[in-house]
Amino acid sequence: MKQFVRYTVIGVISNLTGYLVYLFLTGFSIEPKLAMTLVYATGATVGFFGNKQWTFMHKGKIMPTFLKYFYVHGCGYSINYIILYFFVDKMVLPHEIVQAFAILVVAVFLFFSLQRIVFLIP
């Protein structure tokens, strides 16, 4: 439960910041999937250290952990991209609402994936 609380604290701060940057970028006519890509890449990179050291307090080797982390985030990015593609491009829903929803979906996926695959918490 402590991990979930720490993950939520980091997630709320980083995802709120990322979402505001996303809105800022799309406000300047940057296509939503491109804006999400830029924000996601930055957030995932910064998040590695916060999640490794604070959320999961992982003491394992950095390189294998780093590779698994970015594999899992590649999956999270793909989920986010597909959600934007389907609901914004195909169903023509407002990207602001769709991206907020996608953040929640990906956050849940990432928590369990990071816990079970990357940082190997039983």
Query: pLDDT tens across 46-98, in order?
Result: 888 888 888 888 888 889 999 999 999 999 999 999 999 999 999 999 999 99
SS3 assignment for 15-60: HHHHHHHHHHHHHCCCCHHHHHHHHHHHHHHHHHHHHHHHHCCCCC
Q: What does DSSP assign to residue 91?
A: T
Residue 122: the pLDDT is: 54
- 13-55: pLDDT as tens digits: 999 999 999 999 999 999 999 999 999 999 999 888 888 888 8
Task: Give the pLDDT confidence score for residue 55 in this predicted structure.
Answer: 85
pLDDT of 2 reads 85
pTM: 0.90
Domain holding 86, by residue range, is 2-118
Quote the pLDDT of residue 121. 64
**Structural domains counted in the chain:** 1
